[in-house]
């Protein structure tokens, strides 16, 4: 066993002992006594040999502060020497009462709810007080009849060793209470706070998503990385995980480099554009910012002899993408008849395919979908809608695509892992097949917001395949703040069989 693993196990044992044998002193009538760290060492040494060598006094205090946030550090004078002590806790050294696995749910704290209770597994859920986009975060605890425990936050598995919590539990009342005390050390990641002047920096980022964080009575806008750790380090003074904080720091650093380079290189064309904008504001003060931007872009593009020299603003590209996606033929008429100078179709293809259209649920695609809904200021009702399922036939074709140092094959059946494993079990072998159909999932909000967010190449999906992929997509939509309330599909035999499988 490696040294680091031994230290982890030792710290887990000490933290479990503290949570089981100490409790909050709730006696308000009497003054709370001081408990010295030395007394904790002496009482713990019977269960954990060499506890003093394993964990120093500051480490013990940090564990206690994480388990019991209300305690305070103090100093106790013994034999003329001041020693470190804590105030606000008391010893509870009574032996624990044995309980059966089937009776554990009777001793669960009130804030925890029983989600599933079987003969082998007890699943408990805790909803956070903090809300993100109006939704609480679910902390899920699994206790098995084999005494093993597991923890997940918002569907992400948490390493218990990071919070000095053991991977197993003894079925005693004392150990169960200690487990829930130890879970207080798990702090949620609120995301990185977004200041007002930073909102434009992250508006186009596909690696993060904006959320409204509500804590107590305070509301703030935060950004959350698509790979957010969901928890912060033990005793962290910040409510932001490493992933979210580093993404914000790097993004702001890159933006500052761009601004500095712009200051160093003064472009005469930019100065001329500013003068035109000022003149437009004087001539027509009621023009909106978008109208001014459109007019200035027309002036700039018409003055250039070649279309490749135009540098389109992101707002113009977003507008062009919106028009093109709704009606490509109308977009061609506007540009070819000379009504407006707009980005070419080849340029729109690059932006339209900015996210790699891989099969399945892609976090960057979901983040783009969420950011686009925020940018369009979709109302709360617009996040409710339906899932449109469309299965279309495609021509069988295998393509080899080289990228970087590797090569990928496109055109094969590629569904969720559960679907692929199910086919391997049924057929008794695992083999790749050419796809002749593709299932596309589209979210359509009740206020008109529409977004295709997932696709699955298949060989005419069976009802069981549709069942797995559909519920995966519904779960992903709820995770990103969208709430599907209906499902729309054609009346094919496989779709009808799928509906019979669904407990509506």
Q: Across the strands, what pairs with 401?
A: 408
> DSSP for 376-444?
TT--GGGGEEEEEEEEEE-----EEEEETTEEEEESB----HHHHHHHHHHHSS----B--EEEEEEEE
pLDDT digits (tens, 9 = 90+) for 274-312: 677 778 778 887 888 888 888 888 888 777 766 666 778
The residue to which tokens 């696995």 are assigned: 101
**Are the C-beta atoms of 178 and 218 separated by less than 8 Å?**
no
Whether residue 103 contacts residue 95, with contact meaning beta carbons closer than 8 Å, is answered with: no
Give the pLDDT confidence score for residue 1 in this predicted structure: 43
Domains in the chain, CATH or no CATH each: 3-91 (1.10.10), 101-188 (3.10.110), 192-263 (no CATH), 266-352 (no CATH), 363-501 (no CATH)
Query: For 176-232, what is the HEC assignment?
Result: HHHHHHHHHHCEECCCEECCHHHCCCCCCCCCEEEEEEEECCEEEEEEEECCCCCEE
* pLDDT score recorded for residue 140: 93
Asked if 401 contacts 345 with a C-beta cutoff of 8 angstroms, the reply is no
Long-range contacts of 41-48 (CB under 8 A, 24+ apart): 43/91, 43/93, 44/14, 44/17, 44/18, 47/17, 48/10, 48/13, 48/14, 48/17
Whether the CB-CB separation of 343 and 194 falls below 8 Å is answered with no
The pLDDT assigned to 349 comes to 74
| Single pTM value for the model | 0.48
Instruction: List the helix and strand counts (H, then E) for the chain.
Output: 15, 21
Neighbours of 81 (CB within 10 A): 8
Structure tokens, 290 = 């978008």
Question: What pLDDT is recorded for position 66?
Answer: 74
Residue with tokens 């003149």: 279
97: left (phi over 0), alpha (psi -120 to 50) or beta: beta
> Each residue's pLDDT tens digit in the chain (504 positions)?
444 555 666 667 777 777 777 777 766 545 567 777 777 777 777 677 776 677 777 777 777 777 777 777 777 777 777 777 777 777 776 767 888 888 888 888 889 999 999 999 999 999 998 888 888 899 999 999 998 999 999 888 998 878 878 788 888 888 888 888 888 888 899 988 887 656 556 655 678 888 888 887 788 888 888 889 999 988 777 889 988 888 888 776 666 655 555 454 545 555 556 677 778 778 887 888 888 888 888 888 777 766 666 778 888 888 888 888 778 888 888 888 888 888 888 788 777 665 566 788 888 888 888 988 988 888 889 999 999 998 888 777 766 666 666 666 666 777 777 777 777 777 777 777 777 888 899 999 998 899 989 888 888 788 888 888 899 999 999 999 999 999 999 888 888 888 888 665
Looking at residue 285, what is its pLDDT?
A: 79
Q: What is the pLDDT of residues 416-456, one digit of tens each?
A: 777 777 777 777 777 777 778 888 999 999 988 999 898 88
- pLDDT, tens only, 155-170: 889 988 788 787 888 8
pLDDT score for 18: 75
Per-residue model confidence (pLDDT) at position 29: 45
């Amino acid at each position: 066993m490696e040294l680091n693993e031994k230290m982890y196990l030792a710290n887990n044992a000490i933290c479990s002992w503290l949570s089981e044998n100490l409790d909050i002193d709730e006696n308000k009538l009497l003054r709370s006594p001081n408990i010295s760290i030395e007394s904790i060492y002496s009482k713990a040494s019977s269960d954990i040999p060499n506890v003093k060598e394993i964990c120093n006094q500051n480490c013990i205090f940090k564990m206690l502060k994480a388990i019991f946030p209300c305690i305070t550090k103090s100093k106790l004078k013994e034999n003329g020497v001041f020693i470190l002590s804590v105030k606000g806790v008391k010893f509870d050294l009574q032996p624990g009462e044995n309980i059966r696995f089937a009776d554990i749910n009777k001793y669960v704290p009130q804030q925890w709810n029983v989600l599933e209770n079987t003969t082998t597994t007890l699943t408990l859920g805790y909803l956070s007080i903090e809300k993100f986009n109006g939704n609480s975060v679910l902390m899920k605890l699994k206790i098995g009849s084999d005494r093993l425990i597991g923890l997940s936050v918002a569907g992400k598995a948490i390493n218990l060793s990071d919070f000095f919590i053991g991977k197993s539990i003894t079925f005693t009342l004392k150990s169960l209470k200690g487990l829930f005390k130890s879970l207080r050390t798990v702090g949620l990641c609120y995301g990185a706070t977004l200041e007002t002047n930073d909102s434009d920096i992250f508006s186009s980022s596909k690696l993060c998503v904006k959320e409204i964080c509500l804590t107590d009575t305070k509301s703030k806008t935060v950004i959350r990385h698509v790979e957010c750790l969901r928890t912060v380090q033990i005793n962290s003074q910040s409510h932001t995980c490493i992933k979210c904080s580093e993404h914000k720091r790097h993004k702001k650093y890159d933006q500052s480099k761009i601004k500095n380079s712009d200051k160093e290189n003064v472009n005469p064309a930019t100065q001329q554009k500013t003068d035109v904008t000022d003149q437009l504001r004087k001539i027509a003060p009621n023009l909106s910012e978008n109208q001014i931007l459109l007019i200035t872009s027309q002036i700039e593009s018409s003055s250039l002899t070649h279309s490749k020299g135009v540098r389109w603003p992101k707002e113009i590209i977003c507008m062009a993408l919106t028009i093109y996606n709704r009606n490509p033929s109308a977009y061609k008429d506007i540009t070819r008849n000379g009504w407006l100078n707009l980005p070419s179709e080849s340029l729109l293809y690059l932006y339209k395919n900015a996210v790699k259209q891989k099969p399945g649920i892609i976090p960057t695609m979901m983040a783009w979908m969420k950011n686009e809904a925020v940018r369009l200021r979709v109302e709360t009702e617009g996040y409710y809608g339906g899932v449109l399922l469309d299965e279309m036939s495609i021509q069988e074709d295998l393509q080899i695509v080289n990228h970087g140092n590797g090569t990928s094959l496109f055109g094969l059946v590629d569904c969720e892992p559960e679907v692929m494993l199910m086919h391997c079990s049924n057929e008794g072998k695992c083999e790749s097949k050419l796809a002749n159909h593709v299932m596309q999932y589209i979210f359509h909000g009740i206020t008109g917001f529409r977004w295709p967010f997932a696709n699955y190449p298949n060989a005419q999906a069976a009802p069981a395949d549709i069942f797995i992929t559909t519920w995966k997509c519904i779960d992903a939509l709820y995770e990103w703040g969208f709430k599907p309330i209906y499902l729309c599909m054609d009346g094919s035999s496989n779709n009808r069989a799928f509906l019979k499988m669904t407990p509506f």
